[in-house]
Amino acid sequence: MSDLTAVQLEELTACLDSQYHDIRNAVRTEFEDTGEQHRIDLLNREPGDSGDQSLASALADFNVARFDRYIQALRDVEAARQRMESGEYGTCTDCGLSIAFARLRVAPTAKRCIECQQKYEREYAQAGQPSL
């Protein structure tokens, strides 16, 4: 269980929402640039409608490599929202300790505390890009 206060959680929820919207806008711009406006329909869905296919899954269906980074970013946001709902948000998935609020403000999708994240990045540094 994290020791975040309701006010802190509210601020972090707003951070996640704005991240989500930024990504969605970036995808929208990408669609417009490529003349695929008809696909923008899928971007009009609001996040968090339970039962709905997530935007990340919808994008993944296009199977377009250039969307991969957006898909990953959206999945991170969606996963953070789920942890928020289940009360696991703000707790490190590796060591179970609270993640510092200062860290979450900078990286609201973070699922590890800074120590575990650094350890993770050292271990997987060669394997690919660092993740939050």
Site residues for Zn ion per CB under 5 A: 92, 94-95, 113, 116
Amino acid symbol at 122 = R
Calculate the CA 68 to chain-centre distance. Answer: 13
The least distance separating Zn ion from the CB of residue 59, rounded to whole angstroms, comes to 30
Nearer to Zn ion, 64 or 100 (CB): 100
The least distance separating Zn ion from the CB of residue 53, rounded to whole angstroms, comes to 32
* Cβ neighbours of residue 108 closer than 8 Å, sequence gap 6 or more: 12, 15, 16, 19, 80
Nearer to Zn ion, 2 or 19 (CB): 2
CB 56 within 8 A of CB 71: yes
Nearer to Zn ion, 14 or 95 (CB): 95
